[in-house]
Every structure is written in C-alpha cells, then in structure tokens.
Structure 1
Amino acid sequence: MSANKSGDGGWKTFIWNSEKNEFLGRTGSSWFKIFIFYVIFYGCLAGIFIGTIQAMLLTLSNYKPTYQDRVAPPGLSHSPCPDKAEISYSIEEKTYKPYVDHIKKFLKAYNIENQREESKFEDCGEKPEPYTNRGALESDYGLRKACRFNRAWLKDCAGLEKKDEDFGFNEGKPCLIVKLNRIVNFRPRPPASNESIPEPARPNVQLNLIPIHCTNKREEDAEHLGPIEYFGLGPGFPLQYYPYYGKLLHPDYLQPLVAIKFHNITRGYEMRIECKVYGENIDYNEKDRYQGRFDIKITINS
C-alpha cells in the first residue's frame, strides 16, 4: 500500500510541485519562453507560406490563364451531344425528343429577347467581317460588349417556325448546331490558301470565315450520306466574334454558331460523319476526337 501511495504522490508532484512552483516539470517562466519560441517559429512558417502564395499570385493574370500549354485550340462541339457521340432514332417523337430538347435548351441563350440590352450587346454585321477590336486584354477598357447572334440566321435549324420546331428530326433530316469552344484571347486564322484544305471543303472558303466541312468518315459510306446544308453567317465561323476576353471582361459573350442539316441519310444505315474546321492555327489530334473536329454516328431507323 505504501508503494502505491508513494507512486501517486510522485505523479501529483510531477503535475504540480508546490515547493518549486513547477507545472509538469517547468516553471512559469520556462513555459512562457517555450510559448514565445513556438509563436515566433510558427509565425515565421506562416509568413513564408503567405509570402510564397503572394509571390505566385503576382505572376497570375486576372483575365487570362498564365499557362495554356495543355490547351490545344480549339475544340469543336455540337448539340445534341449524346453519349458516345451516337444519334439513333426512328420517326417517332418519343425517340428523338431528347435530342430536340437538348438543342432547344442550348439555343435558349440565343433568343433575340436575351440580347436586347445595348450596354451588353452590339450588332456586328450579318456577313463575315474582320476581328472586332475591343482593346487589349489587360487594360482599363472595362467590360466588353458581345456581338449579337440572331438565332434566325440558322434558318431551317433555328426551331423558330412551327414546321422547324423539331429541327428536322421528324422528317429524317436532322440538324446539328456546332460551335468552336471558347479560348481566352484566341484568334482563329482562316486557311492561308485553298491548297491547304481538301478539295471538297474549298467551296466553303470565304473571306473572314473559319470554314467547316462535313463528310462521310468511311469511303464506303459516301452513297448513303446525301446533301448537306450549312446555315449561319456562312458555312463557318465569322471572325468578328473573336477574340473572347474571358468571363470577367466578356460575361455575355455568345459564340457564333453553324447549323448543319443532313438531307438524305439512308434509313436504317449506321452513318459515320466527320466534321472539321480549317484554319492556319487549327490542328487535329487523333487521340482527341473534338480537337478541331468531331466524329458522330447517325442512324435513322425505319
């Protein structure tokens, strides 16, 4: 029993020694010095960390990503955009309704009533024009206006008329709505010459336009594709909508669109189509199906 009492007394003495005024083996002044040391130590660590972050932030722009080496300009995307890039339907509303709903939702931002505010939008012409100069990216110019894009320019694929509200899906003549993905301060350049693009795409070449051309992916599919029609400000993307200044300076920006209508795809045939844009600074990558192009499979069942 005496040993246990002695042990208990030892622990009590270690926690608080009344003779030496020590708590856990240290006096008050010793604990104070340790506290001051760690305050200074961790304060220095925090200062180094904050200073490093601030130095890094000085190298970043508020308007443009500092490093875009992993961005391969530009991506080409379309609506509708189903899983696995496959559109398959029959001439029954329930089979094509999801595709039609996708296009309607996408085009909602292009309704003319959403582009009326003069402080945010401006008319940039109804034919392809040169780039619109809205000042340098990092300047005191402030918010940039966006070019209006009239949905009616998409004609048969605008979905504004009663007969076109299904975007041709109900007739077996489906539409795709195509856009170039946004890249801050990117200026797509038209082809340097007709010789730089395939001969079938040359009729789509116009001044101040990035041309787009769709064709059969496989040679044996040529007879099953039929005529293709392009709607918009020409068969491509007009330059006056570029450059894009980013969400901070260009919050209301609308990309120009091209509508592609396939008039006579063979029923019951799995049609593989490739669409490409052509430009001096537009590249392609076989590992990325949307870099400057896209592949899509369309099957219209009987």
Structure 2
Amino acid sequence: MGVRPLIDHKATLIDFDHEKQSSYQIHINHLQAFLEQYNPPPSNAEVCVSGPPSDPKKVCKFDIADLGTNCTWANKFGYADGQPCVLLKLNRIFDWVPESYANANDTGNPDAYESNSVLVTCNGEHPADIDNMGPVEFFPPAGFSFNYFPYKNQVGYRQPIVMAQFTGITRGIVVQIRCRAWADNILYHKNDKMGSVHFELRVD
C-alpha cells in the first residue's frame, strides 16, 4: 500500500499545527496534486457498475466525489480542523485480481465490508497508539472496488483510492498507525510492507 501526503520519501511522519496554515499547506498541496490526475477523467474511461470494462481499450472511471466532502481541497482536507485526511492506495501489480476475504468479522469492521471490494482498516500500532488515534472514517467506506482490477498497464488507467480521515486524534503526540487492505490473496505480516502501510501522525 501507499500513503499520501508523503513529503519526504525517507520519512513517514505527517506533522502539522492545525492553527497554522503554513504548517499544513505543503500537505494539502501534495494531496491536491495527486488528485489532479483524476479530473478530468481520461477519454477512454467509463463508469463501471459490476466489473471492469469488457473492452480492453477502456478503463473504469474513478469518481473523486466518492472521497466525500470532508476530504477536499475546499475543506483543506480536514487539516484546518485538526481532522486530517490521509490518502491510501494499493500499489499497482500487473494482472492481479483481488479475492473476497473469507471472514468479514476478522477485519474489525464487518459493517463496511462488501464482497466485491478490498476493505481498508487503520489501527494504532501499540496500545497507547490505539487509545490516541481516535475514530477514523473511510471514503468510500467499502474500500477499493474490484471493478478496477486487474491492472494491465492500460492507457488512462487510474487506480482506486481511499481517504482515511482521523477525526479525534490526540493532540501534541506522535501516533503510530498501520493501515491494512483485506483480500484473501493479499499476504499480510506486520513486518512486511505487503498489504499494509505504516506512518506516524502528529496534530498540534
């Protein structure tokens, strides 16, 4: 998995003061720059309802409206309110097709689980992080739709993305977070980057 904003590829800390726009402007600029590739959509994109396009020259359109109204440039991606949005994406793997997860209860969020999507969850790395992370909302709630897979290096392909908004993070401390993608054929191990991503978040 990948995460944005990621200003320094050697560091994984997202750090800002919600009362000082100068401290978070670089983060929201980074998010907006990433989203600009989705709008306008490529000319060969179509709305996919129940699977990828049958025409190999077509791609599924990802509608950034699915990311909700909180995680937008107009809303400063929640940073001005101290409720930052973090963009999550699956790394492109050629010809990979996700498989429905066998037991939705294992995910910790069975109410959001859909059999045709890769669910995403985020948790604190350690007990103190769990206590300090607070609630998190996902847009879209079900995660990455199967419609966008497999990736075959199609012209105009735009990978699906999910916004995670941290709405009650404890102020003034570094919270270590790990977000995970759930599919039966995603191998996961805490010490392995495959299927998950780690970052730190500090909100003043």
TM normalised by structure 2 equals 0.90
Counterpart of 1:225, as a letter, is M
Question: Does the 8 A contact of 2:53 with 2:60 survive in 1?
Answer: no
In the TM superposition, what is the alpha-carbon distance from 1:191 to its structure 2 partner?
0.4
Question: Does the 8 A contact of 2:98 with 2:118 survive in 1?
Answer: yes
Percent identity over the alignment is 28
In the TM superposition, what is the alpha-carbon distance from 1:132 to its structure 2 partner?
2.1
Counterpart of 2:72, as a letter, is G
Counterpart in the other structure of 2:151:
244
The gaps in structure 2 that reach 5 residues or longer are: none
Alignment of 1:77-226 (within 5 A): 77-83=2-8, 84-91=11-18, 92-111=20-39, 113-115=40-42, 117=43, 120-125=44-49, 129=50, 131-132=51-52, 134=54, 144-159=57-72, 162=74, 164=75, 166-194=76-104, 197-198=106-107, 200-226=108-134
**Deviation per CA, 1:45-79, whole angstroms, max 9, x where unpaired?**
xxxxxxxxxxxxxxxxxxxxxxxxxxxxxxx1011
Mapped pair 1:268 → 2:195: no
Kindly indicate whether structure 1 or structure 2 has the higher relative contact order, using CA contacts under 8 Å at least 6 residues apart.
Answer: 2
Q: Could you tell me how far apart the structure 2 residues matched to 1:263 and 1:175 are?
A: 9
Q: Could you tell me how far apart the structure 1 residues matched to 2:142 and 2:151 are?
A: 21
Q: SS in structure 1 opposite 2:175?
A: strand
TM normalised by structure 1 equals 0.62
- The structure with the larger Rg is 1
Q: Could you tell me how far apart the structure 1 residues matched to 2:84 and 2:187 are?
A: 28
Counterpart of 2:133, as a letter, is L
The gaps in structure 1 that reach 5 residues or longer are: 1-75, 135-140
In the TM superposition, what is the alpha-carbon distance from 1:108 to its structure 2 partner?
0.2
In the TM superposition, what is the alpha-carbon distance from 1:287 to its structure 2 partner?
4.5
**Deviation per CA, 1:11-48, whole angstroms, max 9, x where unpaired?**
xxxxxxxxxxxxxxxxxxxxxxxxxxxxxxxxxxxxxx
- The alignment yields a C-alpha RMSD, in angstroms, of 1.8
Structure with higher helix content: 1
In the TM superposition, what is the alpha-carbon distance from 1:257 to its structure 2 partner?
1.1
Structure with higher strand content: 2
Counterpart in the other structure of 1:296:
199
Counterpart in the other structure of 2:158:
254
Aligned length, in residue pairs: 201
